Chain A
Amino acid sequence: MPTGQESGPPPARGHVCRGYRQPQEFVVRACEFLAEGLAAGERVLYAAPGAPEVLAAQLRAAGPIDEGLRSGAVQIASLDSTYTTGIVVDPAAQVRLYAAATEEALAAGYTGLRVAADATRLVRTPAQLDAFTRYEYLVDRYMATHPMSAMCGYDRGELGDDAVAQLACMHPRADEGSTPFHLHGHPRDDSAAALDGELDMVAHRLWPLALERADLRPAEGPVAIDARGLRFIDHRSLLAVADYAEDHDTTVVLRTSLSTPARVLELLNVTNVRVERV
């Protein structure tokens, strides 16, 4: 698969998407992820559907967490109390909630906040999915500059591969094969966003959606995308960037090492997308 396993830049902490077939797959990986956080002095939060006792039992299977539960290093949230089930998430409000939780963890002496959340039931309707993909990008930007990290679990069987791809592409990392590209908030420079992977016919529907959902508009000037991790882009995907630029009355700058995008844009007389070779 184009993205390769665990593709993307090595973010300091991480925001990874895990699509699973069996719930236990996610539980195992979430426990590993949270154990790393505990070892690094972080406060960890496990959020999933089910009663708190059940969730605690799941974590306990992975290691001794009772001390952490008593001290507050380990927090468990039945999904219903972390998010309000059935309603469409407000992306900015949700990020504020995690920002506050991160600040709280720091104030309590932890090195940061690490979250493992099975968010399947929050993306069941198209409206929920749309809002949550926007949230995933927004919270990724927060994580790029704050000591928060997250593993997001989604049930492939229940949601379908297409919905999981829409979510996975807004993370800097995801399971191999779940998305052909990543549009995320961990640029290596002052760009508004970062783009990794490959953009071809597999992404022809997904890519314009992702661009729109990332809502890249900066305060002023062109929208720069750090595309150092972009390994291929076809002409249709470039035209999708031009459409985005036109719809938002802006110019997009792709920072890439590839030589073909500039040539194709020139051939197609596209002037609202520029390439900076890096």
Chain B
Amino acid sequence: MNTAQRGYDHAAIRYASDAELLAVVVPFLNAGLTAGEPTIVSLEPDRAELVRAALPASAGTHFLATGDLYARPAAAIKSYRDLMTGLVADGASGIRIVGEVPGAAIDTSWDWWARYEAAVNHAYDEFPLRSMCAYDSRTTPPHVLEDVARTHPFLATPGGGHHPNADYVDPLTFLTGPRPMTPSPIQRTAPLLELTDPHPSAARRAVLDADKTGLPAAEIENLVLAVSEIVTNALRHGRPPVHLRIWADTEHMVVTVHDAGPGPDDPFAGLLPADRHVGGRGLWITHQICTHVALHRDDTGFTVRLTAGLPSLGVRSPYE
């Protein structure tokens, strides 16, 4: 298959054993190496070592740490796009990537990683890329596997199997469809502060006033910027009233900004930078600097939830 003519080929691997993972990944990477294509692996350490050991010793495959690359979806998109832009500029006519969303990210913030898996079908389409996203079917929660099925146009199977995925829906449909926003556990308590139609400066001050975390000052400064940007968007582009609510404990801080409007038109808002005049950059910046950002639409309007510090587990971790 000539990768260069295909645009982005985005496949999921659902494996149930190490052997099954290797049976998909190793032939895929070896074919890339044979074709002289850059090959990149970003798996969690145990599985990265497994793959490394199964490749020829001389293989020029690049191994990237998942912690850096998969810290945030918008950052992952930017990093991968920058990386692939460089590879293409250096003459690559095909690129192969094997990656995985870290288990901790699946547990704490799957909602925005699901958006990532949908959005990359668009965001990487200009590159001659074939990628495989690995999910362990023994430990990945069923609702996550459902999203995986809906966001990957192909399924990769052992021995070079590569099949169109009947469950796949196009990213616009996926991203604009109704999606639940699992409340952070702290949201079951009363907010520390609530403001209606706050000026951005009042919103910033409220975040600082409510901060009882032990988080580094820079992380709180990032949250203050994010809240200011989102309140600005709500006041400029949303529909009043704008409600700001803040929760905090010693480890993290959650801020929601709700307005009565429909939210941004752009389904990729937040994951990809938008034109500076439509409010998309502020949302994208928050996706780069917060621990987690969740977007939610319902009958009452549009909500952005911003988190600093480690978000509490919305579901029990299968890795515990």
Interface residues of A (CB under 8 A from B): 1-2, 180, 198, 200-202, 232, 234-236, 239, 258-260, 263-264, 267-268
Q: Closest residue to A258 on the B side, CB-wise?
A: B221
B225 touches A264 (CB 8 A): yes
**Chain B residue nearest to A198 in the complex (CB):** B201
Contacts A198-B201, A239-B276, A267-B288 given; does A260 touch B232 at CB 8 Å:
no
Give Cα A234–Cα B228 distance, bound, in whole angstroms: 8
Residue tally, chain B, CB below 8 Å to A:
24
- A200: chain B residues at CB < 8 Å are 200-201, 228, 232
| Residue pair A235, B221 in contact (C-beta under 8 Å) | no
Closest 4 CB pairs of A and B: A200-B200, A259-B218, A201-B232, A260-B225
| CB pair A260 B235 closer than 8 Å | no
Given known A232-B224, A260-B222, contact A201–B288 (CB-CB < 8 A)? no
Query: In the complex, are the beta carbons of B204 and A267 less than 8 A apart?
Result: no
Report B228-263 CB contacts with A as 1/0, cut-off 8 Å: 110010011000000000000000000000000000
Q: Are B199 and A202 in contact, with the CB atoms below 8 A? A: yes
* Interchain CB contact under 8 A, B281 and A235: yes
**Contact between B201 and A234, CB atoms less than 8 A apart:** no
Which B residues between 268 and 295 are near A, CB-CB below 8 angstroms? Answer: 273, 276, 281-282, 284-285, 288-289
Which residues in window 162-202 of B have CB below 8 A to A?
199-201
Which residues from chain B contact A1 at a C-beta distance below 8 Å? 201
B225 pairs with A234, CB closer than 8 A: yes
- Mark out the residues of chain B between 197 and 231 whose CB falls within 8 Å of any chain A CB in the assembled complex: 199-201, 204, 217-218, 221-222, 224-225, 228-229
Known: A202-B199, A232-B228, A268-B281. 14 other contacts (CB 8 A): A180-B201, A200-B228, A232-B201, A232-B225, A234-B228, A234-B229, A235-B281, A236-B282, A259-B218, A260-B222, A263-B222, A264-B285, A267-B78, A268-B273
Q: Are B232 and A259 in contact (CB under 8 A)?
A: no
A139 to B271, CA, bound (A): 47
Which residue of chain A is the closest to B218 with respect to CB atoms? Answer: A259
Determine the distance from Cα of A201 to Cα of B232 in the docked complex, in whole angstroms: 7
Q: Which of A198, A258, A267 lies in contact with B285, CB distance below 8 A? A: A267
A198 to B235, CA, bound (A): 18
Q: What is the minimal beta-carbon distance from A55 to any residue of chain B, in angstroms?
A: 39
CB contacts (< 8 Å) of B232 on chain A: these are 200-201, 234, 236
Q: Which residues from chain B contact A239 at a C-beta distance below 8 Å?
A: 276
Q: Name 13 interchain pairs, CB-CB below 8 A, sorted by A.
A: A201-B232, A201-B236, A202-B200, A202-B201, A235-B281, A259-B222, A260-B225, A263-B288, A263-B289, A264-B285, A267-B288, A268-B281, A268-B285
Please list the residues of chain B having a beta carbon within 8 angstroms of any beta carbon in chain A: 78, 199-201, 204, 217-218, 221-222, 224-225, 228-229, 232, 235-236, 273, 276, 281-282, 284-285, 288-289
Q: Shortest distance in angstroms between A142's beta carbon and chain B's nearest beta carbon? A: 32
CB neighbours of B199 from chain A (8 A) = 202
Contacts of B282 in A (CB 8 A): 234-236
Verify B201–A236 contact, CB threshold 8 A: no
Cα A234 to Cα B200 in complex, Å, equals 10
Question: Which residues of the other chain, B, contact A198 by a CB distance below 8 angstroms?
Answer: 201
Residues of chain A within 8 A (CB-CB) of B236 are 201
Task: Tell whether, in the assembled complex, residue A2 and residue B201 are in contact, meaning their CB atoms are under 8 Å apart.
Answer: yes
B75 closest partner in A (C-beta): A267
* Alpha-carbon gap, A70 to B258, bound state (A): 66
Residue of A at shortest CB range from B224? A232
Residues of A near B284 (CB, < 8 A) are 267
Q: Which of B78, B201, B221 contacts A260 (CB 8 A)?
A: B221
Given known contacts A234-B229, A236-B276, is B289 in contact with A260 (CB within 8 Å)?
A: yes
Q: In whole angstroms, what is the CA distance A260 to B282 when docked?
A: 13
User: Shortest Cβ distance from A278 into chain B, in angstroms?
Assistant: 15
- Among residues of B, the one whose C-beta sits closest to the C-beta of A263 is B289
Q: A201-B232, A259-B221 are in contact. Are A235 and B204 (CB under 8 A)?
A: no
Question: Distance (Å) between the CB of A5 and the closest chain B CB?
Answer: 15
| Chain A: minimal CB distance from B279 (Å) | 10
Contacts of B224 in A (CB 8 A): 232
Chain A nearest CB, measured from B238 CB (Å): 13
A9 to B276, CA, bound (A): 33
Query: Which residues of the other chain, A, contact B201 by a CB distance below 8 angstroms?
Result: 1-2, 180, 198, 200, 202, 232
Residues of B within 8 A of A234 (CB): 200, 225, 228-229, 232, 282
Which residues of A have CB within 8 Å of B276? 236, 239
B285 x A201 contact (CB < 8 A): no
With CB as the reference atom, state the residue of chain A lying closest to B235.
A201
Report the minimal beta-carbon distance from B17 to chain A, rounded to whole angstroms: 40
- Say how far A182's CB is from chain B's closest CB, in angstroms: 15
Pair B222/A235 contact, Cβ less than 8 Å: no
